[in-house]
Amino acid sequence: MPEQTLTTGKRLVEAATALLDSGGEAAVTLRAVAQAVGVSHNTPYRHFADRAALLAAVAERDFTMLTDAFTATEGTRLQPLAKVKDALDAFVVYGETYPARYRLLFSDPGIASPGGELEAAAMRSFAAFAKLIEGAQASGDLPATMPTATLTGVVFATVHGLLDLQAGGRMREEKGLSRAAAGVAVLFELIAPRGDAAAQSCATVSSP
C-alpha cells in the first residue's frame, strides 16, 4: 500500500483532487474526501482550517506544476514566439483535461486569500509566462508597443476567457469557435500576423 506512506495531509489533497476531476467542485465534500482516505469525517480539520484551505492546497500544487512547465519551455531552444505558443498549448491542454481544477485555480472566488502562499504561487506562474512573452517582444514577434505585463495580461485574459467559456458549456453559443485551441490560433493571427512581419515591413517601407 504505497498510499499509506504518504502523510495524511498529502493523501487528503490527492483525494480532493481526484474527486474534483471526477465530479466537479460540488463533489469535493470534506466527508467524501475523508472517506476516500479512510479517516473520520472531521479529520480534515486536523490538517486544514476548512474546506477552502483544502481546495487552496490543491490549487497551489497545480500552480507550481504550471510554473515548472513554463520554466521548462523557456529552457528549450525553440524560437521566442514558438515558446509562447508551446506554453499556451500546454496550458490549454491542462484546462481542457482538468476543467474543474482549472476553474479552481483561475475562477473560484472562495480560495483567494490576499497575501497568502496561494497568491504567491499564482504570481510565480504569471511571471514565468510573462518571461516568454517578453522574449517574443524582444525578438519582434509580438508587439512591443506596450509593457510586457500589459500584453501578458490581455493574452492570458483571452485564453482564460476561452477556457472558462468552454468549461462552462458556453462554447456552443459561438459558432465561430468550436474549441479553445482554435481561439488561441485566432488570437495570434490578430496580434502577431505573419510573425508581426506585416507591421515591420510596413514600418520599413514607409520610412524615408
Partner DNA sequence: ACCTGAACACCGTTCAAGT
- Which residues bind to DNA, rule: CB under 7 A? 8, 28-32, 39-43, 45-47, 50-52
Partner from DNA, a second copy, none contacting 173, C-beta within 5 to 8 A by type = a second copy
**The length of the chain, given as a count of residues:** 208
Residue type for position 123: M
Binding of residue 114 to a second copy (CB under 8 A): yes
The count of residues interacting with a second copy (CB under 8 A) is: 53
Q: Kindly tell me which residue out of 1, 7, 145, 208 binds a second copy, with binding defined by CB under 8 A.
A: 145
Min separation Cβ 125 and DNA, Å: 26
Q: What's the gap between Cα 7 and its chain centre?
A: 27
Binding of residue 208 to a second copy (CB under 8 A): no
Min separation Cβ 45 and DNA, Å: 5
Partner from DNA, a second copy, none contacting 80, C-beta within 5 to 8 A by type = none
How many other CB atoms sit within 10 Å of the CB of residue 124? 17
In sequence order, what are the residues at sequence separation of 6 or more whose Cβ sits closer than 8 angstroms to the Cβ of residue 62?
98, 101, 104, 105
- Distances 200 to 90, 99, 180, 186, 203 between C-alpha atoms, Å: 29, 38, 29, 20, 5
Q: Kindly tell me which residue out of 6, 49, 138, 154 binds a second copy, with binding defined by CB under 8 A.
A: 154
Partner from a second copy, DNA, none contacting 119, C-beta within 5 to 8 A by type = a second copy
Q: For the stretch 143-153, what's the b/e string if a residue is b when 16 or more beta carbons lie within 10 angstroms of its beta carbon?
A: eeeeebeebbe
Binding of residue 128 to a second copy (CB under 8 A): no
Distance CA 163, CA 192 (A): 21
Nearer to DNA, 39 or 127 (CB): 39
Cβ contact 20:100 at 8 Å: yes
Min separation Cβ 37 and a second copy, Å: 26
Partner from DNA, a second copy, none contacting 207, C-beta within 5 to 8 A by type = none
